[in-house]
Amino acid sequence: MTRSSSRRATTAWSTLVGISLLVGCATPGHETLGKEAYRSLFAGVIAKSLDQHQGNNVCLPAFYVGPTDSDTVEVNVDLDFKSAQNPVGRRAQLDALASVGLVTGTESTRPAVTNAGKPQRIVSYQKTDLGRTFAAGNTFSFCYGRASLDRVVKWKGPAIIGEYQAAFVYYTVKTEVVAPWAKSPAVIAAFPTLAAIVHGDKPKERQVAIDLSSEGWDIAEYSKLLQLE
């Protein structure tokens, strides 16, 4: 997971955890639905949200490019640290995308900015025309498949706080891999979450917060950040 997606995920998960802790603190006097009625309600909300995406709606994690959108992302080779979230590193991921024609990479050096005195080794990656056709809007992320709701597995809540209601819903999706590049061994190795989808393994459970507003039940905005990564 990249720095931007990690930051977004941390914020979103903090909010979702807060909601889950509130579940069970329902205020007496509110009308509640039966189990199957809630299942149908939540399934409709999730299906509608997935259908609102045009074209491919399952995407790779976005690469951080700074405060503004860009067609270019840079990697400092000497600072490209691996982590539990990204065990291969950003350069390996972008090189995999370059191998299937979504980006091109250009290496250069810059003056040193540390006491070590060594020049910085920078690789700049830019979207190709092919990459732009799979890009998620103006972000440096690429969408490879189309998902629809498989089933609602379970949920917590709804929690009721005054007039506010929210539920923490677990569900799975059916994904059709439509982009040939997503099946490339190099891309699968760089983005391990692709393997289960490409190989048709059991789909992972996803989670969203669904809340009730004046417009009815909908997926909470902060929860949409995690819906399809």
DSSP string covering the chain, please? --HHHHHHHHHHHHHHHHHHHHTT-PPTT-----HHHHHHHHHHHHHHHHHTS-S--EEPPPPP--SS--SEEEEEGGG----SS-TT-HHHHHHHHHHTTSEEEEEEEE---STT-PPEEEEEEEE-HHHHHHB-TTSS-BEEEEEEEEEEEEEEEEEEETTEEEEEEEEEEEEEE--GGGG-HHHHHHSTHHHHHHTTPPPPPEEEEEEEETTEEEE-HHHHTTS--
- Is residue 98 in some structural domain? yes
Write the CATH number for 210: 3.10.450
Q: Tens of pLDDT along 25-43?
A: 443 334 578 899 999 999 9
**Confidence band of 84 (pLDDT split at 50, 70, 90):** confident
**Confidence band of 92 (pLDDT split at 50, 70, 90):** very high
Are 116 and 148 found together in one domain? no
For 95, the domain range is: 61-141
Q: How far apart are CA 88 and CA 110, in angstroms?
A: 24
> Where is mean pLDDT largest: 56-70, 92-106, 153-167, 181-195?
92-106
**Confidence band of 183 (pLDDT split at 50, 70, 90):** very high
Are 134 and 186 found together in one domain? no
Are 121 and 178 found together in one domain? no
Contact of 220 with 209, CB cutoff 8 Å = yes
Average pLDDT over residues 204-219: 86
Q: Tens of pLDDT along 98-120?
A: 999 999 999 888 887 665 677 88
Are 149 and 229 found together in one domain? yes
pLDDT above 80 for 13: no
Are 29 and 121 found together in one domain? no
> Where is mean pLDDT largest: 86-90, 131-135, 217-221?
131-135
Are 51 and 151 found together in one domain? yes
Strands 120-127 and 72-76: antiparallel
Distance of CA 199 to the CA centre of its chain: 20
**Confidence band of 161 (pLDDT split at 50, 70, 90):** confident
Are 114 and 226 found together in one domain? no
- Could you tell me the two tokens for 38? 């809630």
Of 141, 159, 192, the domain-final residue: 141
Region label for 78, one of left (φ > 0), alpha (ψ between -120 and 50) or beta (otherwise) = alpha
Are 38 and 109 found together in one domain? no
Looking at residue 229, its pLDDT comes to 53
> Where is mean pLDDT largest: 60-74, 76-90, 181-195?
181-195
Distance of CA 169 to the CA centre of its chain: 17
- Is residue 1 in some structural domain? no
Are 99 and 123 found together in one domain? yes
Q: How far apart are CA 38 and CA 154, in angstroms?
A: 10
Q: How far apart are CA 196 and CA 215, in angstroms?
A: 36
**Confidence band of 61 (pLDDT split at 50, 70, 90):** confident
Are 131 and 202 found together in one domain? no
Q: How far apart are CA 100 and CA 85, in angstroms?
A: 23
Are 105 and 159 found together in one domain? no
pLDDT above 70 for 192: yes
Of 141, 165, 182, the domain-final residue: 141
Domains in the chain, number: 2
Are 109 and 71 found together in one domain? yes
pLDDT above 50 for 187: yes
Average pLDDT over residues 163-188: 89
Could you tell me the pTM of the whole model? Answer: 0.69
Of 141, 164, 189, the domain-final residue: 141
pLDDT above 80 for 7: no
